[in-house]
Each structure stands twice: as structure tokens, then as C-alpha cells.
Chains A and B, each alone.
Chain A
């Protein structure tokens, strides 16, 4: 017998709100805190209505101090709560970097498991929405490089809800990156109530055998568009939405790349030191003898994310991805 789960048609940002509401209802130990998350409901409305429903003790407007409230959330987490911190834009997380790098990520290790930090740090990230300067960073690799942090980055409303709930239930700190460009890009059916998507698992979003295209966050729609164009030229791409950036879904990547022998990685972030490079290392380790062409990368450049008049030149486009796909196939 099948049971029908009620669904709602939600945008990605609404799915985030839905996940937070679900977990605030489900668990007394869940707290939401950050700048403007309470009365204002968040600058993107990600926490809209939550303070009215759960009160000022659980949905907390903090003073304007990223290091302060992230550090305070660490203290709450080691003392029985599950805080979900909102950083207004990823570009404003850097004052909290020390708290995350030096404390959140390594307290378990330092104390041989005695103290743990089950907290989530949510941050909208990325360019392409004509935001003012500094609001468009995609510096996920600063955090994948950080031992002790998991890094999650959904690209769809369904995944956003399931992954955020999994992140809140995770025993370790998770950076949860929300692609601003996808916040209201489209809607999909999102089940009511609680469900989780396993952290560390990617998703094949298109089946193909000629080339593997790997993307995450706001680059997934870009990769898909390129794959559709490639199909018109007779090239069938296997497209993977990574969903988790640390730890990577080794099985899925290896299985796909061993099948296709060609890979294109689409990364919004700067080229040097990016997640794409870790993917290449994994492919090198696990798929060396299967390779038919060098791995292609389509990335942002090694330059500060430009002011919005130039951001379209910085961001990978379907055209640039298609070019890389054809290059890999023609090698």
C-alpha cells in the first residue's frame, strides 16, 4: 500500500524555511540565530514567520557580530543545543572564520570526542544577482579545506530541505551554502514534514555515457543547459549535482567517470585551490586508466569576484561549458 505524502510547491528559499520550521517543531534543542532573522524574517525571508511561531528565545536576532554569534553558537552547541546560524552573505563570514576554523571544526578532535559541535552555519553565496560588491563570493573551498567541517550545497528546493534537516541532525558542524541565484529561480514539489538526504551523497541529474559533467549549487542549471545543447550535437552527458562538497561522493563520481572516461567540472569559484582540484585528484586516484581525455575545468578566474557590471564575464556560462564538453570529446 502506498501512502500519499502531502507536498507543497516551494522555491529553494521557501524550502529552507520549511526545513527550519519542521526542525523547530520536531526538536526543542534547535535554535535559529543571526542578524535580522527574527522580526524581519531574514534579508532573503529565509526565516519568515519563524520568530512569530517559535518565539524570541528560539529564533534570535543577534547583535551585528559574526564572530560573536558564531562563537556563541559553539557554546550553545557544546551545551546541549543545536543552533542554526545564519550568515547574511557568505562574503561576511570572514570575521567568524577563526571561530569556525579553530573551534567549531576541531573541538571534537581536540577533546577526543568529549565536546562536540552539532551546529549548522547557513550562508547564501554566489554571484549573478546584481548584488552590491562583496555580496557575491563563493569561497566554499576555504571550508572544504578545514578539517572537521562538512560542506553542503544544494541546488533544488527538494534537496535543500532534506539536506538542511540532515545537517541539523548531523553530530558535527556543517556549512550549508545556499545559492542565491537559485533562491527563487524555480519551484518544485517538496514533501511536508521531515525527510533527510544523506550528507556525502551526490545525485545524477542526467544520464549519459560520453562525458561526465560535475557541478554544484548555482552551476547545476548551467551544466544542465550545456548538456542539453551537447545532446543536440550527439554528445550525451552524465551530469552530477554534487550536493555535498565535503566529503565528496566518491562512489558516484568514480562510477560515472569510469563509464565516460571524460570529465568537465563546472565551478563558480576561483580556479586555484577550488573543489574542482579535489575532484581531479580523486579522478586521478581512482580512474587513471579509464581516462580518454584530460579533465576540463570551467571556473571563475583567480580574481576577486568583480563588481556586478562585469560579473557575467566572471561566471561560467553554458556556452563555456559546452565548449569544454566538445573539447573533451574531441581530444
Chain B
């Protein structure tokens, strides 16, 4: 624990505890961060409500983890790669994913796996930790191509128990690739608390095994997340290899809307943790420093609401899924079996 101290730039009261960062916290940067924080939270709550109304399917909420996701995604450059899990759409939307497409994903549509043009956002990994080797490979490719682009890959505390965690980090380390392994330690893998997941006190210390930097940040402090991720990305771009970042955070709600957290933990803990909420913390900072402007905040909230309502409307007006799509994209050229099955199914539907 002493070897991997938790890095914090603002404390829970919104005080800057590392004064050397004070000047770097420009009004523009902080207001951008705050905007994305409320945008991601509003979107997440909207999705939970859409699921309850049966307008989308099972949904994985991230409320509580916004500082980790927004802070890290804002540190990226436009041409970087992002490999998310199913709980990281707070990061992907901040990095430029389309809200409509994220909504379509949760509505059971492949369109949700297609990023906007020019955005290197991989489809969310649904199995655990399988995206880590992909990130190592994509970063290797950037290195071979001689670019300055970096790769960020997201994963949770439970993912560190999978073989792919080790294999991905090891390959990244051996090949010395420009990748940032961004762990959101929200302390529960569905029902299993981190103390039952691993005996190590930190996730950051696992970096020692790969001889790469291991950084532990307060994942509810967006400033710490942003600056530490930026440093790691800079190292990556400068040929200094991969970094493992552990952002310590908390998911307030359920694993997914199909999960009932009261079965395995005291949800009072989630209530208590709202005192350390990543958004409240920035609000306290803004108020202390005198940048809190009711009118501006209100406009920001209205803008976010309108954008989200517009995205929901577009999701609901989106043309129905085309059954031909399930046949047409399996191979570049469909095999005869797929052609035959498509033909049989199409004529069956026309007949009916």
C-alpha cells in the first residue's frame, strides 16, 4: 500500500491537495470536465429509466464511476484507440461515440458496435478481460506504423483474475507498446468483493510483475484521473511503453438492471459513498474558487437534457433491424451454406 499511494488532487471537500496542479486547473478545463460529468450521469440515469420502461434491454449502469471514465477519456487524443467493456460508455461517449448508437447497443442492435467515422472505438467486450490482448496488439500496430497514437483499454477489478489480464499485460510489456491499461476498481465483480477476488492490497502493484509503471489514483477525483492518464499516454507516445492505472471507485447501483445488489451488499454503503461523489466534489471546487455560475450550469444541464432526449427519439425512430444483416456480414463473401439459409429463410418469410 505504501509503495502504491493513492494519488489525489482534490479531496472530498473540493480542496486542491496537490498545489502544483492549481495552475493547470484552468476554468476551461474544469468546466469541460464538469459538462461531461453531468452529461454522462444524465445519460446513465436515462438509460436505467428506459430499461425500466421496456424501451431498451438489460442495461449496465456506471453511476459513481463518471470521474474515472470521463477523466481518462478526456486525456485521449483524437486518433487514439479505445477498447471498452460493457460498462464504459461513459468513456466512449466522452471520446466521441454517438449517443444514438450507444442506445441502439442496449436495444439489441449491432449498430451499437459501429463507432462514428474516424473514431477508433472497439465494440464493448462482453466476456471479461478479453480486450486486454486486443489493446496490446492494436498498440503494437501503432508502434510498427510509427505513429504517435496510443491505446487505452478499460477493465474492472474482477478482470484481473482472468488469464487474459496477465497475457495482455505481458505481451504489452514484452513488446513495449504504447498502451494504457486503465482499471476501474469499483470493488465488486457482480457480487464478489475485491477481498475475495485477490489477496493483493492493490491492483497497481500487479504492474511490478511486468516491470511497467503501476499508478493508483482516486478514481472519484477527475483531476487525478485526467492528469495521471495523460502522463501515461505521454509516456506511451514517447516510446516509454505501457502503464497500468488503478482508479479506485465505486458503482452505486446494480451490476446490470437484471441484478439485485441487496442480495450481496448493504446498499447503505452506496448511500454513504455519495458524500464522496465525483460530481459533488467538482461542484464544491467550483463553488470555492468562484466559478460556479447558476445560469451557466442551468444552461449546461438543459443542453445535456435536450441532446439526450434527441438521441432517445432518434433511437426510437431508427429503422427496424433487417434480418438480412445477420447473414450478410459473417464473411466478406457469404459461403454457400449462409446463402442457402438466407434464401430459404427469405422465401419462408415471403410465403408466410
Residues of A bordering B, CB below 8 Å: 35-36, 38-41, 43, 61, 63-68, 91-92, 94-95, 130-135, 271-272, 301-304, 306-311, 313-314, 319-320, 323
Contact = CB atoms under 8 A, between A and B. Distances in A.
A272 B337 CA distance: 8
A68 B161 contact: yes
Contacts of A36: 190-192, 264
Given A40-B263, A272-B337, A307-B108, A301 B190 contact: no
25 contacts: A40-B191, A40-B263, A41-B263, A43-B258, A63-B161, A63-B192, A64-B161, A68-B161, A92-B128, A95-B127, A95-B162, A130-B108, A132-B57, A132-B86, A133-B108, A271-B341, A301-B327, A303-B338, A303-B341, A307-B109, A307-B321, A308-B57, A309-B108, A313-B323, A313-B326
Contacts of B11: none
A131 B192 contact: no
A134 B124 CA distance: 11
Contact of B326 (A40, A92, A310): A310
B239 interface: no
B158 A64 contact: yes
B59 to A, nearest CB: 9
Contact of B323 (A35, A304, A310): A310
Nearest to A323: B348
A245 B120 CA distance: 43
Nearest to B161: A63
Interface in B312-335: 320-321, 323, 325-327, 330, 335
Q: Which of A41, A91, A130, A306 has most B Cβ within 10 Å?
A: A306
A61 B190 CA distance: 11
Given A65-B162, A130-B108, A131-B57, 18 more contacts: A36-B190, A36-B191, A40-B191, A63-B158, A63-B161, A64-B128, A64-B159, A64-B197, A91-B127, A132-B57, A132-B126, A133-B126, A135-B126, A271-B341, A302-B335, A307-B108, A307-B110, A307-B112
Given A134-B126, A271-B341, A307-B110, A314 B326 contact: yes
B58 A131 contact: yes
Interface in B237-280: 256, 258-259, 263-264
Interface residues of B, number: 45
B3 to A, nearest CB: 23
Q: Which of A41, A92, A310 has most B Cβ within 10 Å?
A: A310
Q: Which of B86, B326, B352 has most A Cβ within 10 Å?
A: B326
B300 interface: no
B196 interface: yes
B192 to A, nearest CB: 5
Contacts of B342: 301
A320 B348 contact: yes
A314 B273 CA distance: 44
B316 to A, nearest CB: 13
Interface in B34-90: 57-58, 86
B345 interface: yes
Contact of B337 (A130, A134, A302, A320): A302
Interface string B188-201: 01111000111000
Contacts of A95: 127, 162-164
Nearest to B339: A302
A319 B190 contact: no
Contacts of B162: 64-67, 95
A64 B189 contact: yes
B11 to A, nearest CB: 32
A313 B344 CA distance: 12
Contacts of B110: 306-307
Contact of B197 (A63, A304, A306): A63
A237 B320 CA distance: 36
Given A301-B345, A309-B109, A319-B352, A61 B196 contact: yes
A65 B264 CA distance: 20
B327 A303 contact: yes
Given A303-B326, A304-B330, A61 B161 contact: no
Contacts of A131: 57-58
Contact of B191 (A61, A132, A301): A61
Contacts of A63: 158, 161, 192, 196-198
B338 A302 contact: yes
Sort A-B residue pairs by CB-CB distance and give the 8 closest, nearest first: A308-B108, A40-B191, A63-B161, A64-B158, A309-B108, A309-B321, A134-B126, A313-B323
B199 to A, nearest CB: 10
Nearest to B259: A43
Contacts of A64: 128, 158-159, 161-162, 189, 192, 197
